[in-house]
Amino acid sequence: MNGEKLLKMEMWKLKIRLNFNCIIFLCFFSILFSQGIIINKGSSTTHSLFGDYSKRHNLKDFNYQISYAIIFRGNTEINFSYIKEKEFYRENISSIEMSNWEEFASLGISYYLKPQFFFNFGIKTIYNIPKRNKQNRISSFSFLLNKKISGLASTGLTYVPYVEFKKKYNGKYFDVLENIRNASEIFENSDNIELGCYITFNDFWIKPYYKENLDNNYRYEGVEIGFWDTAFK
C-alpha cells in the first residue's frame, strides 16, 4: 500500500513538472510569435478604465461592470473587473415580481494578433468568481475578429467593429481546463455571440454592443464607455 501511494505521489510530481514546462514553452513561443505579427512594435504599456451597462431585450434584467485593464506591447491585455447582474422573475403568473442578483470579481487575459491582413484576431479567457453563490463560477473562452477603420480626418474618429464567439462553462477554471476535451459533457455550458463597434476619439471610446446566448436566446443590448492613456498609438 505504501509503495502504491509513493508511486502515485511520484506520478503527480512528474505531471506538475511536465505541466510547468509546457506553460514555460507556450509563454516563450507566444513571445517569439508576437514579435513578427505586431503592427505597432514597441508600443508603450497602456492603462485603461471603463464601465458598461447592458439590459436584457424587452425585459428589466440588467448587468453593469467597472473594469481596469493594462495592455503590454499593444497585444497582451490583463483585465480586472467588478460585475453585478440582476434579474427579475415571477414564480407564477399571479405572483409578485421578485428579483435576484449576483456580484462577481473577474480576471481576464486577452491576446490580440495583428498581422498584415484584412482582419485582426484575438483570443480571450475570463474567470468570474461570484460573491454570493460559490457554485456559480463561470469560466469562458473566446475568439474575436475585428477590423480597424479610420474615419474622416475632420472627425478624428476611429472605428473598430468586431464579432466575438464565446464558450461559457459553469465551473472552476482549472477544473474546466483539466477536463477541456470533455468539458461540454461534464459542465453546464453555453455558446454566446457578441457584436459591437468601438468608436474612439483621442483617448476616449464608446462601444455599443449586442450579445446573445445562443442556447436560451437571452439577448442583451449595452454600451461601454472608457478612456486610456495612449489610445491606438
Q: What is the pLDDT along the chain (233 residues), one digit of tens a residue?
A: 555 555 555 555 444 444 444 443 343 333 333 322 223 445 678 888 999 999 999 889 999 999 999 888 778 889 999 999 999 987 776 678 888 999 999 999 999 886 667 888 899 999 999 999 888 999 999 999 988 888 888 888 989 899 999 999 999 999 999 999 999 999 999 999 999 999 998 889 999 999 999 999 899 999 999 988 754 44
Contact 180, 209 (CB under 8 A): no
The model's pTM: 0.77
57 in Cβ contact with 221 (< 8 Å): yes
DSSP string, 103-126: EEEEEEEEEEE--SSSSEEEEEEE
Calpha distance 194→163 (Å, rounded): 6
- C-alpha span between 183 and 166 (Å, rounded): 14
CB 49 within 8 A of CB 226: yes
43/95 Cα distance (integer angstroms) = 57
Give residue for cell 475578429. Answer: 145
